[in-house]
Copies of this chain bind each other. A is one copy, B any other.
Amino acid sequence: MLIKPNRRDILRLAAMAPAFALPAMARANLGAPAGDNPAHFRFTVGEAKITILSDGFFSMPTSGLGVNADPKEVQALLEQHYLSPTEGYSHTNHMYVELGEAKVLVDVGSGTRWLPTAGRLLANMEAAGINPDEITHVVITHAHPDHIWGLRDEFDEPILSQAEYIIGAAEHAHWMQDDLVNKVAPEEQQFVLGAVNSINAGVEWTMAEDGHEVAPGLRLIATPGHTPGHMNLVVESDGKQVMALGDSMSHAVLNFAQPGWFNGFDSDGEQTVATRKRLLDMAAADRITVLGYHFPFPGVGHVLKAGETYEFLPALWQFSE
């Protein structure tokens, strides 16, 4: 029997986070990994050098996906695409951009407090030969665990503290509102505490409004819905654009084939859908390269519009000359 989950159910499950590390055989459309696959991917967009860095992966029940749709339809669409109908497999793809003087990282991953299969951003950065001390700006798309909890290291010290930290003013205001922790359901309290503790970890925050210029060629746009103050980074160089979607899109199949579906974690479902359709149309019309944080690694590709629906086209892997 299928039970239509609500946001509270999802958050209750999230509170038992370590239980989510599911058996390898069940969590993807290939067998278990037979060793460690590479966790970074490089390409350029105009003058911008971009490296995608993985923070790892995790699984969540698919009952949290497409919560405004018939669960049977959600499961059928997943299965048709060779994905588990019950276990959602999520990658965590961070964008690191070097453009001019700026070296910008998008989100800091989940660190040591979330799931054992994630929190690998700094290790993968080192493997990619990137010096974390040179990072000039850190942009936080939103304050969910897998995007911000990594801000504090295991000694409660902030990482990358030499960088300018930037967050949407509306995002900051949402999580930092007076006594939020006691206004939410018990299952949501862990999320609120984690966000507040991360924001209060000791870095100074630049509050961004829609259109905020991080550095020349790098701007933030407001993309509310998944969270109230969610923001996306847009990189522009030589007339080409690439956008880090954060969680304004979180599934490379469902969000494209059924852009009207939203998830249990989307704080405002209707607004999430409106923002998504705007971004999909923008990306298709302007042929913008997009990065989905939770899309299959490396999560970079383009948007194909086909009538009322869309398709995510992964970008070609590249080797040097």
Q: Which residues of A contact B (CB under 8 A)?
A: 21, 24, 28-46, 49-51, 54, 56-57, 80-83, 89, 91, 116-117, 120, 240, 287, 289, 296-298, 300, 302, 304, 313-321
> Shortest distance in angstroms between A2's beta carbon and chain B's nearest beta carbon?
23
Given A24-B321, A296-B316, A317-B91 in contact, is the A34-B30 Cβ separation under 8 Å? no
User: Is B44 in contact with A32, judged by CB distance below 8 angstroms?
Assistant: yes
Cβ-defined partner of A50 (8 Å) among B29, B34, B240: B34
Chain B residue at minimal CB-CB distance from A24: B321
Residues of B within 8 A of A120 (CB): 319
Given A89-B316, A317-B91 in contact, is the A49-B34 Cβ separation under 8 Å? yes
**Cα(A39)–Cα(B38), bound, Å:** 9
> Shortest distance in angstroms between A76's beta carbon and chain B's nearest beta carbon?
13
**Cα(A316)–Cα(B302), bound, Å:** 17
Residues of B within 8 A of A318 (CB): 28, 30, 32-33, 37
Looking at A32, A40, A316, the one whose CB has the most chain B CB atoms below 10 A away is A316
User: Is B316 in contact with A314, judged by CB distance below 8 angstroms?
Assistant: no
Residues of B within 8 A of A240 (CB): 31
> Shortest distance in angstroms between A317's beta carbon and chain B's nearest beta carbon?
4
List, sorted by A's number, 25 A–B pairs whose CB atoms are closer than 8 Å.
Answer: A29-B316, A30-B315, A30-B316, A30-B318, A31-B240, A32-B44, A34-B42, A34-B44, A34-B51, A36-B42, A37-B41, A37-B319, A37-B320, A54-B319, A56-B319, A81-B304, A81-B313, A82-B287, A82-B313, A82-B315, A83-B316, A89-B316, A91-B317, A296-B317, A297-B319
User: Is B319 in contact with A57, judged by CB distance below 8 angstroms?
Assistant: yes
Residues of B within 8 A of A116 (CB): 321
User: Is B49 in contact with A42, judged by CB distance below 8 angstroms?
Assistant: no
Residues of B within 8 A of A29 (CB): 302, 315-316
> Shortest distance in angstroms between A101's beta carbon and chain B's nearest beta carbon?
17
**Cα(A30)–Cα(B41), bound, Å:** 12
Given A42-B37, A302-B82 in contact, is the A21-B321 Cβ separation under 8 Å? yes
> Shortest distance in angstroms between A312's beta carbon and chain B's nearest beta carbon?
10
**Cα(A56)–Cα(B289), bound, Å:** 24
Cβ-defined partner of A31 (8 Å) among B33, B45, B117: B45
Looking at A289, A296, A297, A320, the one whose CB has the most chain B CB atoms below 10 A away is A320
**Cα(A289)–Cα(B289), bound, Å:** 28
